[in-house]
Chain A
Amino acid sequence: MPTPASPRGNGSGRSGPPLWLLLELTYRCPLHCVFCYNPTDFGSVGPELETAEWLRVLEEARELGSVQLGLSGGEPLVRDDLETIVAAAHRLGFYTNLITSGVGLTEPRLQALRQGGLDHIQLSFQDSTRVMNDFLSSTRTFELKSRVAALIKKHDYPMVLNVVLHRLNIDHVEEILGMAERMGADYVELANTQYYGWAWRNRDELLPTRAQLRRAEDVTARFRERVGARMRVFFVVPDYFETRPKPCMSGLGRVFLGIAPDGVALPCQAARMLPGLAFPNVREASLGSIWYDSPAFNRYRGEDWMKEPCRSCPERSRDFGGCRCQAYLLTGDAANADPVCDLSPHHHLVTEAVDRAARRGTALASEHPLVFRGHR
Chain B
Amino acid sequence: MGSLDTAARPTIGRSFRLQWEPAQEAHVLLYPEGMVKLNQSAAAILTRCDGRRTVADIVTDLESTYGLAGLTQDVCAFIALAVERTWLELLS
Contacts and interface: CB of A to CB of B under 8 A. Distances in A.
B15 A70 contact: no
A120 B21 contact: no
24 contacts: A2-B34, A3-B33, A4-B33, A4-B34, A5-B34, A5-B35, A5-B36, A7-B24, A7-B37, A17-B23, A17-B24, A67-B30, A67-B35, A68-B30, A70-B33, A93-B19, A95-B17, A95-B31, A95-B35, A97-B32, A119-B17, A120-B15, A120-B33, A122-B33
Contacts of B17: 95, 119
B28 interface: yes
A221 B83 CA distance: 25
Interface string A82-97: 0000000000010101
Nearest to A65: B23
Interface in A1-39: 1-5, 7, 17, 19-20
Contacts of A158: 14-15, 32
Given A17-B23, A67-B21, 20 more contacts: A2-B33, A3-B34, A5-B34, A5-B35, A7-B24, A17-B24, A19-B35, A64-B23, A65-B23, A67-B30, A67-B35, A68-B30, A70-B33, A95-B35, A97-B32, A119-B30, A120-B15, A158-B14, A158-B15, A187-B32
Contacts of A20: 33
Contacts of B24: 7, 17, 65
B27 to A, nearest CB: 12
Contacts of A334: none
Interface of B: 14-15, 17, 19, 21-24, 28, 30-37
Contacts of A67: 21, 28, 30, 35
Contacts of A97: 32-33
Interface of A: 1-5, 7, 17, 19-20, 64-65, 67-68, 70, 93, 95, 97, 119-120, 122, 158, 160, 187
Given A7-B24, A17-B23, A17-B24, A68 B34 contact: yes
A119 B32 contact: yes
A123 to B, nearest CB: 12
A4 B14 CA distance: 18
Main secondary structure of the interface of A (DSSP, over half): loop
Contacts of A19: 35
B26 to A, nearest CB: 10
A159 B44 CA distance: 31
A187 B31 CA distance: 13
Contacts of B32: 95, 97, 119-120, 122, 158, 160, 187
Contacts of B35: 4-5, 19, 67-68, 95
Contacts of A95: 17, 30-32, 35
Nearest to B30: A95
A187 B15 CA distance: 12
Nearest to B32: A120
A3 B34 CA distance: 6
B21 A65 contact: yes
B86 to A, nearest CB: 9
The 6 closest A-B pairs by CB, nearest first: A65-B23, A95-B30, A120-B32, A4-B35, A17-B23, A2-B33
A44 to B, nearest CB: 30
A36 B75 CA distance: 47
Nearest to A63: B23
